Chain A
């Protein structure tokens, strides 16, 4: 095992991306993710990469759109308000099948909101966020080590299926320091084969075009349907989740990112009191662990979704469970922190049948 190093989440994400072969970064300052561009600005030149502080998030995502079209592993990052600005470029990247990588260190919203950690961009991340029919591969780390290691998987999936990929973190994970362990061998981009669509040198081959449009009648329908096949393959093969104490659970907590850690503490407290509580943590938010939830709902009667938002992921849980079990929600918007005690109180209410279900058994 490599020596553990104390690192900030944001820095681990940046270093993890470089270790995964990232050689281009463009971004714009916004709290609480500033350590990512700051780190990239000195680290990328060390490995022969390029860093640009763009004039806006709009420009940054389009620089990445350009860099991504050359087949180079590239990245941009931002926090919630900045991510809204990037949606145009993400839609184009999805439409042009470009495997770019994006980090979102979420903060409170809507609007300027605040700068504390929040989970209010779940819909934006998993529903596309920009215009048109598309998906992004979205991973939700819950510790600094995962922030350092998920870029590897994001690039792998992005290049395999040709779609934008995203790490959806939050201000708490981004700002906190924790021991980090980089688990993947470092990738030297020179060892990667250039994709068959990469722009650059057309000498001796036909020219290539990277574009997201087709104005012929039915053209975009064909483009999107081809993409849907890849999305189906991703839903088939790339779902990731983690379970704890699920076997005998009467209540299953469903939470991602920082909220899942609060749930681990709540679960342990509840188990000490004799309550049978388990945890399902989606690691990929899209594709969502739908099949596993369906399976669990045949046995488990109560699910409690815990998230730092007004309740966004709960819709995916309710959709998967589809009336086979009760779905409850413990949600806190505005970047307010959820404590284990609060989650325990909600579980007590559920067991005493005092809690109102988000979606009840049909």
Chain B
């Protein structure tokens, strides 16, 4: 008998706390598979965020650090500059990266910090229980906008990949999704490229991944298609998939 598909070495065999239908488990596995395939596990340091993925530090089988909310890119900068031969990734959610950590992510891109950022966008605060996120859609209900997000009170969702694409220091920016099988495959390719860029010293790379949060979206846990439908019909029109920036550091002036 031949084992065709095993748990990646870069992911520990522990029980995850993520809810049924959540995208984090898939994304964790993709990052771990990429680490395995690139042979970098032994020299990688991961930065866990504040938010649902806070426990990522216990799931990934590489050195991990967990720090203040939104400061992942700053922590990653410190690690990378202090130990340039390590591979450093920052794993962040939308509240972490696009709200409280907006300055840190923007300036890591401005410095073209040679790190990899995995940005999981599910348009909601998960860990704290479903509050409005900076990426929450117009009209989308959350516990801090019970009638749905309205522009007068809460403005509009932020498109991080598009915004960061305006920064000269950003090397590679792609938005993918994990709500479909082809999306998962594409996401893995993007993650692999984002890590390869770092190995090659090309500078700042970020993959923005649209992901599901059935628990806080209020979609049915026993019917995951409700959540994938929300991604397809709600999120995709606001957050179009695609490569927003792909420039080698060498090409940048």
Chains A and B share a contact (CB less than 8 Å): yes
A209 and B58 alpha carbons, distance in the complex (Å): 8
Interface of chain A residues 73 through 118 with chain B (CB within 8 A): 74, 88-89, 92, 96
When chains A and B are docked, how far (Å) is the Cα of A69 from the Cα of B72? 13
The answer to whether B68 and A88 touch across the interface, beta carbons within 8 angstroms, is yes
Interface membership of chain B positions 72-88, coded 1 if the CB is closer than 8 angstroms to chain A and 0 otherwise: 00111111111100100
Total residues of chain B contacting the partner, CB 8 A: 38
Report if B64 contacts A (CB, 8 A).
yes
Count A/B pairs, Cβ under 8 Å.
Answer: 143
The residue of chain B having its C-beta at the shortest distance from the C-beta of A88 within the complex is B68
Say which residue of B43, B45, B64, B77 sits within 8 Å of A52 (CB atoms).
B77
Q: How far is the CA of A123 from the CA of B64 in the complex (A)?
A: 33
User: Which residues on A sit within 8 Å (CB–CB) of B75?
Assistant: 62-63, 65-66, 69
Residues of B within 8 Å of A58, CB to CB, are 71, 74, 103-104
Considering only CB atoms and an 8 Å cut-off, how many residues of chain A contact the other chain?
39
- Cβ of A96: which chain B residues have Cβ within 8 Å of it? 65, 67
Which residues of B (95-150) have their CB < 8 Å from a CB of A? 103-104, 106-107, 110-111
Q: Give chain B interface residues in 41-71, CB to chain A under 8 Å.
A: 41-45, 47-48, 54, 57-58, 60-68, 71
- Residue A68 lies at the interface, judged by CB distance under 8 Å to chain B: yes
Q: Are A70 and B71 closer than 8 Å at their CB atoms?
A: no
Interface centre among B64, B75, B103, B107 (most CB of A within 10 A): B75
- Given A56-B103, A59-B71, A207-B12: 14 more A-B contacts, CB < 8 Å: A24-B81, A55-B103, A62-B75, A63-B77, A66-B67, A66-B74, A66-B75, A89-B67, A199-B63, A201-B42, A201-B63, A202-B63, A207-B60, A211-B67
A203 in the interface (beta carbon within 8 A): yes
> For A66, what are the chain B residues with a Cβ–Cβ distance below 8 Å?
47, 65, 67, 74-80, 82
Closest residue of B by beta carbon distance from A72: B82
CA distance A62 to B81 in the complex (A): 13
Give the docked Cα–Cα distance between A210 and B64 (Å).
Answer: 6
Quick check: A74 and B74 within 8 Å, CB to CB?
no
Within the complex, the shortest CB–CB distance from A337 to chain B, in Å, comes to 37
Q: Is the CB of B79 within 8 A of A70?
A: yes
Residue on B nearest A55 in the bound complex, by CB: B107
Min CB gap A243→B, angstroms? 40
B63 nearest CB neighbor, chain A only: A199
Are B81's CB and A50's CB within 8 A?
yes
Option from B45, B48, B74, B106 in Cβ contact (under 8 Å) with A63: B74
| Cβ B68 vs Cβ A207 within 8 A | no
Q: Is residue A328 within 8 Å, beta carbon to beta carbon, of the partner chain?
A: no
A26 to chain B: which residues have CB within 8 Å? 77-78
- Which residues of the other chain, B, contact A166 by a CB distance below 8 angstroms? none
B contact residues around A88 at 8 Å (CB) = 68
**For residue A203, which residue of chain B has the nearest CB?**
B42
A-B contact pairs, 16 of them (CB 8 A): A52-B78, A52-B111, A54-B74, A55-B107, A59-B74, A65-B74, A66-B47, A89-B68, A200-B86, A202-B42, A202-B61, A203-B41, A207-B61, A208-B63, A210-B66, A211-B48
